Amino acid sequence: MSGNRGGPLSHVRVLDLSRILAGPWAGQVLADLGADVVKVERPGAGDDTRAWGPPFLKDTSGEATGDAGYFLAVNRGKRSITLDLSKREGQDLVRRLAARADVLLENYKVGTLAKFGLGYEDMNSVNPRLVYCSVTGFGQNGPKHDHAAYDFMIQAACGLMSVTGERDGLPGAGPQKVGVPIVDLMTGMYAAVAVLAGLSRRDQTGTGEYIDIGMLDVGVSMLANQAMNFLISGKAPRRAGNKHPNIQPQDVFATLDGHIALVVGNDSQFVKFCEAVGRPEWAAEERFRTNAGRVTNQAVLLPMIGELLATRESRLWSELFNAAGVPCGPINTIPEVFEDEQVKYREMSVRIPHPAAGSVPQVASPMKFTKAPLAFDRAPPMLGQHTREVLREIGLNAVQIETLAAQGVI
């Protein structure tokens, strides 16, 4: 595997056997950091997300390439090879790749890779320094360990949907999922963090690690303050729309021409807010003087704020609050996000050369390093784009490679 890339992980080789989203997101994080990530896909089909469209990336002639936006969002920076893991020859090649790797990512159902001789114990015997990370819906043990899982059902099962959405009794009430596959994404982030910890420990001990990441575990961990609210009070948190259960005022408010998101995070900010809107007496009132009081009395306070904010345009309120040091902002559409001056300045949208499309747009990593800057130089790969290149790197000659192709192994 070639590791001639920039970034703080340019010395790290990753063998990525994962597909769909959680595992590939972890692989993309590592690739963004400079790791050489070789993605193993099924011959002729590839990762399921290649087909999860429309929309599909178009080539330079305007024809669809067969790669959906979903795939393009989570596979930047990787090299794609095709291997049939059900064939002995394919399994042997995985072992050869693992022998040279630092990290192996996989998200097959529990026990699947072990049937192929590619489980952790098998790989540990090939490479004792390997950090092997398994991502599944429910973890490697427990009564549900063999159940299939997708982000949507985990958002429901972990309790996230019970606290997301408008409160009962209002139009649109009911449980809601988050607008992106947040548990998948956070599972990928936890996996990447765990891999980095495994690599750090290996530097100290000389031995690898086995990491077990379950999506349900991640979803439960993400409940954060909502979980703690329940654990210390015994009361089940409820959906509250855009209102924060512990900080007020924090909500979406209608203005004369739209809406703004207002976040008053502490008592001093509330004083500044009241002065900015010309109601300094609110901050002196006992009911609203402290955050606890504002949370308790939000049914009184929020309508007062809402009535006032409805009298002026969003832009004017934003300018006024930002000048006063009160956090607020517009509710942008996604096109508006990429037109935002701060987003543009931080170069969060990039284009990477692509062999079929000329170039492909990407949302850049938010991690910015000064001494080892990240390089966005590898587009999400076409299916099997690097198969022959990678196989040559592990010692196969042209005849051997063509024989594997004729056998349907690659």
Which pLDDT score is estimated for 299?
95
Locate the domains of the chain by residue range: 13-221+344-406, 250-333
What are the structure tokens assigned to 179, written together?
């607008």
Looking at the predicted structure, is the pLDDT value of residue 24 above 90?
yes
% of the chain beyond a pLDDT of 70:
99
Residue 401: φ, ψ to 5°: -65, -45
Average pLDDT value for residue range 207-221:
98
Q: Tell me the H-state helices in 171-223.
A: 182-205, 215-221
Q: Is the dihedral of CA 268, 273, 278, 279 positive or negative?
A: negative
Q: Omega before 54 cis (within 30°)?
A: yes
Domain 250-333: which CATH number of 3.60.15.10, 3.20.20.80, 3.30.1540.10, 3.10.20.90? 3.30.1540.10
Q: pLDDT band at residue 94, thresholds of 50, 70 and 90?
A: very high
% of the chain beyond a pLDDT of 90:
98
Q: Token match 């790197």: residue?
A: 393
What is the secondary structure of 55-113 as a DSSP string? SEEE-TTS-EEEEEHHHHTT-TTEEEEE--TTSHHHHHHHHHHHHH-SEEEE-PPTTHH
Q: pLDDT band at residue 3, thresholds of 50, 70 and 90?
A: very low
Neighbours of 233 (CB within 10 A): 9
Looking at the predicted structure, is the pLDDT value of residue 293 above 90?
yes
Q: pLDDT band at residue 6, thresholds of 50, 70 and 90?
A: confident
Q: pLDDT band at residue 259, thresholds of 50, 70 and 90?
A: very high
User: What's this model's pTM, rounded to 2 decimal places?
Assistant: 0.93
Looking at the predicted structure, is the pLDDT value of residue 169 above 50?
yes
Average pLDDT value for residue range 73-80:
98
Looking at the predicted structure, is the pLDDT value of residue 320 above 70?
yes
Summary mean pLDDT of the chain:
96
Sort residue 363 into left (φ over 0), alpha (ψ -120 to 50) or beta.
Answer: beta
Active centre residues (catalytic)? 184
Average pLDDT value for residue range 349-365:
97
User: What residues are paired with 212 via a beta bridge?
Assistant: 134
Instruction: Say if CB 344 and CB 332 are below 8 A apart.
Output: no
Domain spanning 13-221+344-406: CATH 3.40.50.10540? yes
Which pLDDT score is estimated for 13?
98
Average pLDDT value for residue range 303-317:
96
Same fold, 13-221+344-406 and 250-333: no
Q: pLDDT band at residue 4, thresholds of 50, 70 and 90?
A: low
Q: Token match 């790749």: residue?
A: 97
Q: Buried b vs exposed e over 153-163: b needs ≥16 C-beta within 10 Å? A: bbbebbbbbbb
Q: What is the pLDDT of residues 32-51, one digit of tens each?
A: 999 999 999 999 999 999 99
Average pLDDT value for residue range 236-260:
94
